[in-house]
Amino acid sequence: MIGYLGPEGSFTHLAFIEYSKKHTVSGSTPFQTIAQIIEAVNSGKIKSGMVPIENSIEGSVGETLDQLIRASQKVTINAEIIIPIEHCLITKKKNLNEVTKVLAHTQALSQCQGYLKRFLPNAVLEPATSNSMAVKIVSENGDSMAAIGPKMAAEIYKVPVYEAGINDEKENFTRFVLVGTDTLAPTGKDKTTIAFGVPYDKPGTLVRVLNSFANEKINLSRIESRPSRKALGEYIFYIDLEAHREEPSLKKALSEVASEFSFYRWLGSYPRWN
């Protein structure tokens, strides 16, 4: 059973559908939050969970990164899926002047801010837990509301699409990850995600860590930092490396800098999305 950020019709649900085209799955079930999905995997209630981790416009999904760090070390990334994102304005109204409120996930509101300022400048923008939840709310009691969401959600909840493709940037992609407890063997085209901290009072530590990967010719496809939540100025660095942790080059690079870490967590080695 795979959990996804619901309700039915969310972009995470679309990512699950895309994943299920290439893999055999036993079923799916929606959850209200990312935290609930990862906790359900951690407790063994579900085998895996599909969650968003990164958008090409807005960057990383902080809640996913934070929850992965909080979960036990048995919960790791087992797969990644990248899908194109097309936001639709979904409403029962035919005249946008009659729309008083727009519901959507915070990332969707941000990705469509140009459209919203131009065509709905006076509408209240209200965050929702997911875009499909926003559409569901509009379908049930949103006569003066609009939602931003995928076309599939409009079809499921039977609310008309007023306009499709309202996202400001048309080249819009979101990367989703399947979190689970499997340990995967190398495929030859893998990615490894790690999180680590370094002492803030030791100059050059981060450079030495990054140089270790460069010396082994390991490509970094993503690097970012987030507050450690322990002290001001302390950060956790998240890195995606194009290698499997069982490959000798990555083993060597990590062993050379292990003493530099104040904190280290392996978040998974998994096949790169093709």
**Angle of CA points 44, 45, 46, to nearest 5°:** 90
Domain 2-83+172-180 - what CATH class?
alpha beta
Sign of CA dihedral 134, 139, 144, 146: positive
Local structure of residue 256 (DSSP, 8 states):
H
Q: Are 157 and 238 in contact (CB under 8 A)?
A: no
Give the tokens for residue 178: 């399947």
| DSSP class per residue in 155-184 | HHHT--EEEE---S-SS-EEEEEEEES--P
**How high is the pLDDT of residue 234?**
85
Measure the CA–CA gap between 266 and 144, rounded to whole angstroms: 47
- Which DSSP letter does residue 247 get? S
Domain(s) labelled CATH 3.40.190.10 in the chain stretch across: 2-83+172-180, 88-164
CA 254 vs CA 67, 78, 177, 209, 251: distances in Å: 24, 20, 23, 8, 5
Task: Show the low-confidence residues of the chain (pLDDT under 50).
Answer: none
| 265 exposure class (CB count in 10 Å sphere: 0-12, 13-18, 19+) | middle
Smallest CA-to-CA distance from 41 within 8, 4, 6 is with: 4
Q: How far apart are CA 170 and CA 87, in angstroms?
A: 10
pLDDT (0 to 100) of residue 231: 79
State the CATH architecture for 88-164.
3-Layer(aba) Sandwich (3.40)
Determine how β-strand 48-55 pairs with β-strand 76-84.
unpaired
Assigned fold of 190-271: Alpha-Beta Plaits (3.30.70)
d(Cα 2, Cα 9) in Å, to the nearest integer?
Answer: 15
The pLDDT value given to residue 220: 96
CB 65 within 8 A of CB 238: yes
This prediction's pTM? 0.91
